[in-house]
Amino acid sequence: MTTIRDNYLMAAKGGKPYWVPSFTDDCNMFFPDYWFWEDPETGTDFFNIKWTANDAGRMPLEGWHAMEHISQWRETVKFPDPSKLDWEGMTARAKAMGSPDKVNVGMLNTSGIFLIPVNMLGWVEALCAIHEEPEELETFICAITDFLCETMKYMGKYFHPDIVCTGDDVASANGPFVSKEVWDGMYRPYFRRVCDAIHSEGALAEFHCCGNCGWLIEEFLNAGADICQLPEPNKSLLEDKRRFGSRLVITGGWDRHGPGSMPDAPEEVVRQSVRDGIDTWGSDGALIFWDGGIVGSGEDANNKRRWVADELQKYGHTVYG
């Protein structure tokens, strides 16, 4: 009998599963405790970033800078020591909340070597640092990478994930924030190190990025990403999907800006948007369906979540039959 985990991993490895897996419903999620750490006095995380929450998620608090210059990162950042985290306790809690039939997904990070300096400095200062202080910035990037790779060793040892998510919003709706030259020299080697660390623990590497990644898609694949978590479908991505086929495994597929996402969209329009997403992005099977996180807590958002999940079950369980 095919389990949810077996089916999910078929798609994750670029094959055609028995039904379309759901990122929302088919995973046991593991979050290390440092995701939730907050300084009791300042309310900041270990990067000294203050966060504010709204219906769309968390954003750095406007007007707050964790530091004023990239050279201050050493005295600002308080990296947790991975060897001193309660991995046995974290793993036990995750397993108690999960199901043995589901796929184990470890959440390593969502902000990474590009976005963390941006969140600490603000966009202007962080982007200027790429050109004005490249050596200092790269030293910080290396330190972030060292922390993620060391953490990965313990996650692999205790949680034994099937897939590990790492992420960095290095693109906007209009394309990548950095040039190919900057990516090659400043970011690609460290991104590859994180993917290599994930693979060394026997897990698949899933990379999250919002926006229109453009030429970065091929970079992600060549650097070791097995799955690309891309909640913003776009024309450029569709061209990449046609080019790479099942090599480009996508977590996503729902058009967050299409007719089904509009306020008070009728039920049938929302359901059709699910079918369209599966047909467009999952024809070869290499799709893990995700609505990208429908925002809001009102009746409209709740209806959309319910209709999307139900249609994924109905259509997603028949489309490959």
Residue 46: name the closest of 75, 78, 70 by CA.
Answer: 78
- pTM of the predicted model as reported, rounded to 2 decimal places: 0.95
Report whether pLDDT(55) > 90.
no
Task: Please tell me the predicted confidence (pLDDT) of residue 321.
Answer: 83
* 106-120, 214-228, 283-297: range with lowest mean pLDDT: 283-297
| pLDDT tier, 234 (very low <50, low <70, confident <90, very high otherwise) | confident
Q: Which residues pair with 206 in a beta bridge?
A: 165, 227
Domains belonging to the chain, first-starting first, are 4-50+60-316 (3.20.20.210)
Q: Note the pLDDT tens digit of each residue in 240-268.
A: 999 999 999 999 999 999 999 999 999 99
Q: Note the pLDDT tens digit of each residue in 198-220.
A: 999 999 999 999 889 999 999 99
